Amino acid sequence: MEMKTTVAVVTYDRPDHVDRLLSHLLRQRSNPDEVIVVNNGANDATRELVESQTKRFDRTSIALHHHPRSTDTSLQGGRNDAIRIANGDVICFVDDDVIPHETWLEGIERGYEWSTSAVAVGGPAPTTDEELTFQHPVVQSPTNQNHLNRFGEHRQITYKWIPPTPVETDFLIGANMSFEVDVLEEVGGFDPSYRGHPQFEELDVMAKLWKRGETIVYHPDALVYHLSASQGERDRVSYWYGRNSLRFRRQNFPETYRRSLMRLLIKPEFGPPVWRQLGGAILRDNTTYQWRLRGYIDELLLDQFDSRIGSRLTAGYAEE
């Protein structure tokens, strides 16, 4: 049975990025059956751009759809809309700031052929500048480099890992991931409770698949180039990384959540412990650590507030 593929991108007020992405999608060795541009904020320039490209896509038998969203502008909500309207058996998500290599979609398809039990396939997303110059030395390890454990700790080097052959992995990143639509619907799609800058909403889905023992494939040909973010953007990312990392652990690994907080303070399996982050924030004025620590604190305070409110509501119901 031939696999039908949908490519989906969720964008917000970046028509130039969408224009570049669509041009590269037309250069793929393997064509998708449809492309969905989810226009968060219902930006007029983005709408006009997509409409102007429709005939070009029609000539290659690719259905190009524009889906405006004027109210909820969350990435998760946009992705869930794409899942709902997709006609493909597999939905492939890319960010609007990536440039897919001409083998990208072919690599996705080969990943599902490489392992017939695969429910998700993705690949490398090396960080580059506008000239597509790699910002990090390439790691060509043939073994898995994207790790997740039962405490919700994780480590990934998708930004520089390009293995020589396909490999099973623990998770993929949001800039370059695909799923069997049926399985994605089974796990409930993307959780809208993750707030702020998109962080951990894709790992939340991956954790659900990982806990189910599903097969996730990382294929070297499924390659996209991920353009670097500005320093101001990185600070914002770091804050929401801290906040949403705790939410991710609490929601997906509640049985180990308290232990994971202790491990985070002292010695987590992946990444620096809080005491080392604190040293970097104070002694080296590391803004990445400063913002991440603030995110941890804000989420812990919110967690305690929510717990107290929940206890009062429960007590109120009991009294009734």
**Structural domains of the chain ordered from first start:** 5-228 (3.90.550.10), 232-319 (no CATH)
pLDDT given at position 147 = 98
| Alpha-carbon gap, residue 39 to 68, rounded angstroms | 5
Segment 272-300 shows an average pLDDT of 91
pLDDT given at position 232 = 60
More confident: 266 or 198: 266
Lowest mean per-residue pLDDT among 57-61, 163-167, 272-276: 272-276
More confident: 41 or 2: 41
Q: Give residue 312's pLDDT band: very low, low, confident or very high (50, 70, 90).
A: very low
Lowest mean per-residue pLDDT among 75-79, 156-160, 232-236: 232-236
Segment 196-204 shows an average pLDDT of 92
Q: Which residues contact 58 (CB under 8 A, 6 or more apart)?
A: 64
Q: Which residues contact 233 (CB under 8 A, 6 or more apart)?
A: none
pLDDT given at position 316 = 37
Q: Which residues contact 252 (CB under 8 A, 6 or more apart)?
A: 152, 204, 207, 208, 211
pLDDT given at position 228 = 78
| Alpha-carbon gap, residue 172 to 187, rounded angstroms | 16
For the chain, give the number of residues: 320
Segment 273-297 shows an average pLDDT of 91
| Alpha-carbon gap, residue 112 to 122, rounded angstroms | 10
Segment 232-236 shows an average pLDDT of 73
255-279 pLDDT per residue, tens: 999 999 999 999 999 989 999 999 9
| Alpha-carbon gap, residue 151 to 261, rounded angstroms | 9
Segment 227-254 shows an average pLDDT of 87
Whole-prediction pTM = 0.91
112-157 pLDDT per residue, tens: 999 999 999 999 999 999 999 999 999 999 999 999 999 999 999 9
Whether 109 has a pLDDT exceeding 80, the answer reads: yes
Report the percent of the chain where pLDDT is more than 70.
Answer: 93
Q: Give residue 1's pLDDT band: very low, low, confident or very high (50, 70, 90).
A: low
Whether 313 has a pLDDT exceeding 70, the answer reads: no
Q: Which residues contact 84 (CB under 8 A, 6 or more apart)?
A: none
Lowest mean per-residue pLDDT among 43-52, 62-71, 255-264, 295-304: 295-304
Whether 311 has a pLDDT exceeding 80, the answer reads: no
Lowest mean per-residue pLDDT among 121-135, 158-172, 205-219, 222-236: 222-236
22-32 pLDDT per residue, tens: 999 999 999 99
Look-up of token digits 């009062």: 312
Whether 284 has a pLDDT exceeding 90, the answer reads: no
Whether 317 has a pLDDT exceeding 50, the answer reads: no
Segment 173-186 shows an average pLDDT of 97
Whether 300 has a pLDDT exceeding 90, the answer reads: yes
